Chains A and B, each alone.
Chain A
Amino acid sequence: MRIIVVGCGNVGMTLTQQLSKEGHNITVIEEKSSVVQAVVNNLDVLGIVGNGASYSIMKDAGIESADLMIAVTNSDELNLLCCLIAKKAGNCHTIARVRNPVYKKEINFIKEELGLSLVINPEEAAAVEAGRLLKLPSATKIETFARGRAELVRLVIDDNSRLRDLALRDIPSDLKKQVIIAVVSRGNDVFIPDGNFIIRSGDEITIIGPSSNTTSFFKKLGLPAVKVHSSIIIGGGGTGYYLAKQLIALGIKVTIFEKDSSRCKELTDLLPQALIINGDGTDKDMLLEEGVMSTESFVALTNLDEENIMLSMYVKSINPKAKLITKVHRVNYGEIIGSLNIGSVLYPKNITADRIVQFVRGKNASQDSNIETLYKMNDDRVEALEFIVRQGSPVVGKPLVDLKLKKGILIACISHYGEIISPSGESVIRDGDSVIVVTTRTGLKDINDILEN
């Protein structure tokens, strides 16, 4: 696909990296020439220095023959203008990043009128993910499939876990039946485990199953499976606002720390039920005063990665029971941050990039299936994809044991008219089902790609 990416900040860079890895022809437009230089040196893409909303720059980038234009600059208005111009000049698909909550209410109108294919709000997406984690605090990551009916949940096995030192085949059937253990990561290695695989203490396992089962799976493991009751949020920016709004709706007590006093006033208007503290979240005394020792969850959402990580480590040391969520912008140090053991880490850039990659792959797929959802995990080494199976696909109608799957592919879940099945060898995929596949073979575009030729 010919893709033009306008704006090469955090999200733009991650996105360009992802899409270029998938083999698309990418042209990047960015105003800072040093950034363009860096992108062109590191990735096999074409760089153009200039304002993406300019028609002549768009023409230079080949908008007339492009298939997709993605506008991810810092400014919502610029992004929308880029989309408008791209649509008129090239009649291609357009994707815009729009963050301002004011536009959020009117987003469907804007989408319709400007002919946008997709609008993403990274802050809201990050907040949704954080909100899910606070509903099931023992999980380090939760993603949903099949319109929320199936879930992918990640958790860490500790020394006291019932699963410790058990081979998968020996797991008690009350646990085994409910969900599928799809991925295990141990240190720097990632496995898609088979029956003989033995789970060790310290492993991070990813389970996939119906949403109701994941909760009871947690209960049976003796892990808390109820939502938190209180939350301290550091940083009242976009993500903080969206998160607080969700949590308040769930009846969770929310405290927000925000440095900027005028923003605090805005927040009090927007979130009358929340406690807004005008102060620096890194002020230890103030944190203690506002009950950091007793809070059930702590979410660090400032704009500085270092500050977020430091805060989380501090809270971990004084209040080890609290659920921690840390927002990190830099994606390159995932392994190190993972080893710090500070609970869940949110990468807003990845969330956005995943959504767009999912869209692009879906556009690339053939007619008889398409990608409904895509999540990248473990530093992009594992992907979980949800496909809708259309008529005539060769995977239909045969028991799973008879399908010749490629290596490194696991069918984790089948959704049949809303009924979620954790499949066994005898399960059969039917037309119209949605199938969740977990794989170490990144880059699947189509359900048929899982079969050996």
Chain B
Amino acid sequence: MNYSMVRFVLFRLLTVLGGLLILPLLVAIIYREYTAAQIFFLVAISCLVLGVVGAHKKPLNKVIYAREGFFITAAAWIIMSIVGAVPFFLTGTIPDFVDAVFETVSGFTTTGGSILTSVDSMAKSVQFWRTFTHWVGGMGVLVFLIAVVPMADGYSMHLMRAESPGPVVGKIVPKVKDTAKILYLIYFAITVVETVCLMISGLGLYEAVTISFSTAGTGGFAITDSGIGGYSTLTQGIITVFMALCGVNFTVYYFLIQRKPKEAFAIDEVKFYFGVMLLSAFLIGLNVYMAGIVNNPGMSFHHALFTVASVMTTTGFGTLDFDKWPMFSKTLLMGLALVGACAGSTGGGFKFSRALIAVRNARNELNFLVHPKAVKRVFMDGHTLDGTTVKSVSAYLGLYVITMVASILVVSLDNFDYATTVTSVIATLNNIGPGLSMVGPTGNYSQFSYLSKFVLMFDMLAGRLELLPMFIMLKPGTWKK
């Protein structure tokens, strides 16, 4: 383990975090929330000073390997969550520090599950910070670090790979730094376009910006207690579109900018993603309409599409309380939640590409039983995949199931009903936010014990970082020099 490089990157990260905290500080000054402004100023300055001092001495040996990459990523996200919680705690918005950390973890991991019962009375700057954590966490803070700070040179790929979602994290241009820049530019552009669209639909700047942060990061923190339900159908429609767009592999946008539509549409998972989304929305819309919950078939489809997009991209916004929907709809939604969004997007979950690889591999295995000598390989995006990718997907699936089952077991100690226990873990591990029953769209996570909260925090981080970094950090061998 190259500890001096770990220290260097982590302090650099602290500096960046300090810089990011200046935004809510400005918001606080604009809205004349001077107590909050003081707190944001204090935290930002401490981060900046500490970060600059700590990263002053540059490491002699800049070589890092996958191990350091995973370790730095996991440590970075834990530090970020703790530091990010300080403003919530000091402003008194969340009086319990563990709850404040839970809320921040939920923010950075773009989960959007809250421990707050009401958000209407929150200070505007704190509210802003709460949604801004989604935006930062969506594309990843280390990717941001790589894009803006000159750092580990050729070795940053290990950081990028550890933080970015998907079974195969590739670069879109030869240099990591340029790749990170392109991704952030696309991300930034999507956010700006959404903000403008929302303002056209009648929202104020503040509302439009915060909702865009939540949507682009596929987070799900809303700024009112009624969620997105209180907005016009047009606004909801715009949010649906942008949620769906942010769940798409960002490489597609790069190809489109490069005027290579053929390459963009050759990506299998994106086709399946949209196909599954529309089909599920149709089925749920029909189911909800038949059950008589929504009387207008058009509106029924509108709400179904919104909810399906929200759950599949693991955003977790709600227009209606889907906990009251028929069993078929609820089950289908939770099933979609397990699969999640596309690799290389800001969404969470198991990822469509992994699911496709797993299914195609299973199909091949079945085929072997019928034709034992047949040679079959897994195809994706028009290429055959090498064995290691398929193997790593199987391993990931195993780890994913084990994590889920173990977490459910621990959370069950709280003795809540079955739906709450299971869906709280599904909703956090896949970074969705709302589950069913007590943690449904109208509920929250405040009633869980500390133990459960820690487990769910772990699940959120593990889900966002795709398991490996968190587990590698826990593995004792990692810490050896």
Q: Which A residues lie at the B interface, using CB under 8 A? A: 2, 20, 25-27, 33, 40-46
CB of A26 to closest CB in B, whole Å:
5
A27 in contact with B174 given A44-B153, A44-B154, A44-B157 (CB within 8 Å): yes
User: CB-CB < 8 A to A43: which residues of B?
Assistant: 154
CB of B176 to closest CB in A, whole Å:
5
CB of A317 to closest CB in B, whole Å:
38
Known A44-B157, A45-B174; further 14 A-B contacts with Cβ < 8 A: A2-B174, A20-B154, A25-B173, A25-B174, A25-B178, A33-B386, A40-B157, A40-B171, A43-B154, A44-B154, A44-B174, A46-B171, A46-B173, A46-B174
**How far is B156's CA from A26's CA once the two chains are assembled, in angstroms?**
16
B156 x A44 contact (CB < 8 A): yes
**How far is B152's CA from A43's CA once the two chains are assembled, in angstroms?**
12
A26 in contact with B386 given A44-B153, A44-B156 (CB within 8 Å): no
CB of A310 to closest CB in B, whole Å:
32
Q: Which residue of B lies closest to A21 (CB)?
A: B154
Q: Which residue of A lies closest to B178 (CB)?
A: A25
**Which residues, 161 to 180 on B, are CB-close (under 8 Å) to A?**
171, 173-176, 178
- A-B contact list, 22 entries, CB within 8 Å: A2-B174, A25-B173, A25-B175, A25-B178, A26-B174, A27-B174, A33-B386, A40-B157, A40-B171, A41-B66, A41-B157, A42-B154, A43-B154, A44-B153, A44-B154, A44-B156, A44-B174, A44-B175, A44-B176, A46-B171, A46-B173, A46-B174
**How far is B179's CA from A45's CA once the two chains are assembled, in angstroms?**
11
**How far is B153's CA from A98's CA once the two chains are assembled, in angstroms?**
33
**Shortest beta-carbon contacts, A-B, top 7:** A44-B154, A46-B174, A25-B174, A45-B174, A26-B174, A46-B171, A44-B176
CB of A54 to closest CB in B, whole Å:
14
**How far is B301's CA from A388's CA once the two chains are assembled, in angstroms?**
73
Q: Which residue of A lies closest to B156 (CB)?
A: A44
CB of B340 to closest CB in A, whole Å:
26
User: CB-CB < 8 A to B156: which residues of A?
Assistant: 44
Secondary structure of the B contact surface, majority rule: helix
User: CB-CB < 8 A to B155: which residues of A?
Assistant: 44
Interface bracket on B: 10 to 19
User: CB-CB < 8 A to B386: which residues of A?
Assistant: 33
Q: Which residue of B lies closest to A60 (CB)?
A: B263
B327-365 contact mask (Cβ, 8 Å, vs A): 1 or 0: 000000000000000000000000000000000000000
Secondary structure of the A contact surface, majority rule: mixed
Q: Which residue of B lies closest to A28 (CB)?
A: B174
User: CB-CB < 8 A to B174: which residues of A?
Assistant: 2, 25-27, 44-46
User: CB-CB < 8 A to B175: which residues of A?
Assistant: 25, 44
**How far is B386's CA from A42's CA once the two chains are assembled, in angstroms?**
19
User: CB-CB < 8 A to A42: which residues of B?
Assistant: 154
**How far is B157's CA from A44's CA once the two chains are assembled, in angstroms?**
7
**How far is B442's CA from A435's CA once the two chains are assembled, in angstroms?**
77
CB of A23 to closest CB in B, whole Å:
9
The residue among A2, A40, A46 with the most chain B CB atoms within 10 A of its own CB is: A46
Q: Which residue of B lies closest to A33 (CB)?
A: B386
Q: Which residue of A lies closest to B65 (CB)?
A: A41
User: CB-CB < 8 A to B178: which residues of A?
Assistant: 25
CB of A366 to closest CB in B, whole Å:
23
User: CB-CB < 8 A to A46: which residues of B?
Assistant: 171, 173-174
**How far is B177's CA from A25's CA once the two chains are assembled, in angstroms?**
11
CB of B168 to closest CB in A, whole Å:
11
**How far is B171's CA from A26's CA once the two chains are assembled, in angstroms?**
12
B55-76 contact mask (Cβ, 8 Å, vs A): 1 or 0: 0000000000010000000000
**How far is B178's CA from A46's CA once the two chains are assembled, in angstroms?**
12
Q: Which residue of B lies closest to A27 (CB)?
A: B174
The residue among B154, B174, B386 with the most chain A CB atoms within 10 A of its own CB is: B174
User: CB-CB < 8 A to A45: which residues of B?
Assistant: 174
CB of B58 to closest CB in A, whole Å:
18
**How far is B377's CA from A33's CA once the two chains are assembled, in angstroms?**
15
CB of B13 to closest CB in A, whole Å:
20
CB of B49 to closest CB in A, whole Å:
31
CB of A112 to closest CB in B, whole Å:
31
**How far is B30's CA from A119's CA once the two chains are assembled, in angstroms?**
65
**How far is B178's CA from A26's CA once the two chains are assembled, in angstroms?**
12
CB of B171 to closest CB in A, whole Å:
5
**How far is B172's CA from A40's CA once the two chains are assembled, in angstroms?**
12
Q: Which residue of B lies closest to A46 (CB)?
A: B174
Q: Which residue of A lies closest to B383 (CB)?
A: A49
CB of B387 to closest CB in A, whole Å:
10
CB of B311 to closest CB in A, whole Å:
35
**Which residues, 133 to 190 on B, are CB-close (under 8 Å) to A?**
153-157, 171, 173-176, 178
CB of B385 to closest CB in A, whole Å:
10
User: CB-CB < 8 A to A44: which residues of B?
Assistant: 153-157, 174-176
CB of A360 to closest CB in B, whole Å:
15
**How far is B179's CA from A46's CA once the two chains are assembled, in angstroms?**
10
User: CB-CB < 8 A to B66: which residues of A?
Assistant: 41
Q: Which residue of B lies closest to A24 (CB)?
A: B174
The residue among A25, A33, A43, A44 with the most chain B CB atoms within 10 A of its own CB is: A44
User: CB-CB < 8 A to B157: which residues of A?
Assistant: 40-41, 44
CB of B2 to closest CB in A, whole Å:
15
**How far is B254's CA from A46's CA once the two chains are assembled, in angstroms?**
16
Q: Which residue of A lies closest to B154 (CB)?
A: A44
**How far is B157's CA from A41's CA once the two chains are assembled, in angstroms?**
8
CB of B285 to closest CB in A, whole Å:
40
User: CB-CB < 8 A to A27: which residues of B?
Assistant: 174
User: CB-CB < 8 A to B153: which residues of A?
Assistant: 44
Q: Which residue of A lies closest to B176 (CB)?
A: A44
**How far is B154's CA from A40's CA once the two chains are assembled, in angstroms?**
10
**How far is B106's CA from A171's CA once the two chains are assembled, in angstroms?**
73
**How far is B109's CA from A126's CA once the two chains are assembled, in angstroms?**
56
CB of A31 to closest CB in B, whole Å:
13
User: CB-CB < 8 A to B176: which residues of A?
Assistant: 44
**How far is B155's CA from A44's CA once the two chains are assembled, in angstroms?**
7
**How far is B173's CA from A26's CA once the two chains are assembled, in angstroms?**
9
CB of A67 to closest CB in B, whole Å:
12
CB of A294 to closest CB in B, whole Å:
49
User: CB-CB < 8 A to A40: which residues of B?
Assistant: 157, 171
**How far is B154's CA from A45's CA once the two chains are assembled, in angstroms?**
8
Q: Which residue of B lies closest to A61 (CB)?
A: B174
Q: Which residue of A lies closest to B155 (CB)?
A: A44
**How far is B262's CA from A304's CA once the two chains are assembled, in angstroms?**
47
**How far is B156's CA from A41's CA once the two chains are assembled, in angstroms?**
10
**How far is B174's CA from A45's CA once the two chains are assembled, in angstroms?**
5
B251-271 contact mask (Cβ, 8 Å, vs A): 1 or 0: 000000000000000000000
**How far is B353's CA from A222's CA once the two chains are assembled, in angstroms?**
72
**How far is B172's CA from A45's CA once the two chains are assembled, in angstroms?**
10
**How far is B416's CA from A244's CA once the two chains are assembled, in angstroms?**
86
Q: Which residue of B lies closest to A2 (CB)?
A: B174
CB of A56 to closest CB in B, whole Å:
11
**How far is B481's CA from A76's CA once the two chains are assembled, in angstroms?**
46
**How far is B178's CA from A40's CA once the two chains are assembled, in angstroms?**
15
**How far is B174's CA from A27's CA once the two chains are assembled, in angstroms?**
6
